[in-house]
Structure 1
Amino acid sequence: MFRTLPFPFPDGRFPRSLGAVVQRTVAEGALPALVVAHDSEGCWLIGDGVNDPNEPGACAVYGIVHIAEDDPTLHETAGLRPGFAAYRDGPGQPWSIEPFAYEDEAAEG
């Protein structure tokens, strides 16, 4: 599993070998993915949009394709450019795209 891969992805879908930092609540199916971020360094993050992903043990690295198998709408975000995030209000809702920066980066800028 790789942390970053050449982007854009050839078929517009997440590659099998791409890993992402995913909140356990999403990975375990307790909550839906409401946030997908592609940070400026090329890393991918998937969160529930509710709980603090910075809490100890809140996240782990998973194959992003495996997460998308449970929620195929995540593939809609595979074209997200670095430095942007997709947000939605609930499963099946449309994604809205916004610039993304970590809190400490936003405070510096």
Structure 2
Amino acid sequence: MNSAEMDRHIPFPFPGGAFPATLGAVVQLTVLHQVEPARLVVHDIDGDWAIGDGVNDPNLPDACVATHIAHALTLDPTLAALATLPPGHMAERASPADEWQISAHSYDL
């Protein structure tokens, strides 16, 4: 498989409880550029993944990018524990020193 390939949907649960290398996610650039830590991870009901800083608006133009989730994992290995986060759930924390808090997720319409 080409390492540049990015998959949006990979059957869940993931083998071995680990994020697949080709899994894509929408990640806030503040997290990728290490301006802010990851404080929010969403695994939405459709199976999509998103990682945000939890403080800046991810909906602003050019705030996020689709990339391999592995890039975020390299910057923050604690994200690996969330590979078993079920669809329709999110994990939040106030800081990297805090435990992830899991709750149901839905998009506000």
Q: TM-score range by the shorter chain?
A: over 0.9
Match of 2:3 in 1: none
Once the 2 structures are TM-superposed, how far is the Cα of residue 103 of structure 1 from its aligned partner? 1.3
- Identity over aligned pairs, percent: 51
Match of 2:72 in 1: 67
Letter in structure 2 aligned against 1:100: H
TM-score (norm 2): 0.93
- CA-atom RMSD in angstroms: 0.7
CA distance in 1, matches of 2:107, 2:27: 15
Match of 1:23 in 2: 28
Which SS does the other structure have where 2:15 is aligned?
coil
Residue 91 of structure 2 corresponds to residue 86 of structure 1: yes
Runs of 4+ in 1 over 3 A off after TM superposition: none
Match of 2:10 in 1: 5
CA distance in 2, matches of 1:29, 1:3: 24
Which SS does the other structure have where 2:37 is aligned?
coil
Q: Which runs of 5+ in 1 are unaligned?
A: 105-109
CA distance in 2, matches of 1:75, 1:92: 15
Letter in structure 2 aligned against 1:93: D
Once the 2 structures are TM-superposed, how far is the Cα of residue 40 of structure 1 from its aligned partner? 0.4
Match of 1:107 in 2: none
Q: Which runs of 5+ in 2 are unaligned?
A: 1-5
TM-score (norm 1): 0.93
Once the 2 structures are TM-superposed, how far is the Cα of residue 73 of structure 1 from its aligned partner? 0.1
CA distance in 2, matches of 1:27, 1:103: 25
Q: How many residues align?
A: 104
